[in-house]
Amino acid sequence: MNTVLEIAIQAAIEGGKKIMEVYAQDFSVFTKEDSSPLTEADRQAHESIKAILAETNLPLLSEEGKLTPFEERKNWETFWLVDPLDGTKEFIKRNGEFTVNIALIKNGTPVLGVVFVPVTGMLYFGTEEKGSYYLELGSTDVTLSPEDIIAQAKALPSAQDAAVYTVVASRSHNTPETEAFIDEKRKKHGEVNTISAGSSLKLCLVAEGKAQVYPRLAPTMEWDTAAGHAVAKYAGCQVYDFKSNTELQYNKENLLNPWFVVERA
């Protein structure tokens, strides 16, 4: 697993480099068939990540790649699930709250996840064997080898539980249902603090211990959550379907996630 983790970390950092090269320029914004935005950064990061992960000879399902029919991918026991640029809206706003998400899925469950924040150089990773860790690399200009990064990383959660119960919510996709969820937490805990963030950073904030819960009562796709799911899960959190209370599953015929909650156990 360490070798596979090293490859995933390398892929995430290299994808982040491609993103920052575009971020430093004037860039065009295109609209995909589902009306979501797309930039050259999404495409370049995808190609870079795809080339590096190819070393593992495992199948790849990427938001920006060709969508493999379910009849073929339903037979995949282990595969990569990637969002080369999660938070394209945040990228376009230039607020820094976007990530590279790389997850390894085995039998529908994320067994490894890497989340990289190109603007800050913050790297999160989690595996079922090692637990979850983070390291502040500072930028995409990284001199450390993936092996050294793993050796120097610090265990999650990194923060003590806040005195005030804290809910993390979406920067761009808040809903009335989310507000109702927060109101229920106020009834239970009294004072509730809310913080906003973009992309898979929200899952990582719960993994870090900086928030107790993240309700996502709005649409997401599997590639949006898989890497952060692994980081949160192996940091001692639960990632579960809002209605059924069962753990989120991946490689479904319909790649749309149900509403879900990330909660520190």
Query: How far apart, in whole angstroms, are the C-alpha atoms of residue 122 and residue 2?
Result: 20
What are the start-end ranges of the E strands in the chain?
Answer: 29-31, 37-39, 60-62, 78-86, 99-106, 109-117, 122-127, 131-136, 154-155, 165-170, 192-197, 213-216, 237-241, 260-264
86 among the known binding-site residues?
yes
31 among the known binding-site residues?
no
26 among the known binding-site residues?
no
144 among the known binding-site residues?
no
- Name the residue with tokens 């970390």: 9
87 among the known binding-site residues?
yes
- Rama region for 159: left / alpha / beta (φ>0; ψ in -120 to 50; rest): beta
Residue 86: other Cβ atoms inside 10 A = 27
148 among the known binding-site residues?
no
68 among the known binding-site residues?
no
Contact 233, 225 (CB under 8 A): no
**Residues in binding site for Mg(2+):** 63, 83, 85-86, 224
Q: Which residues are annotated as a binding site?
A: 63, 83, 85-88, 224
Residues annotated in a binding site for substrate = 63, 85-88, 224
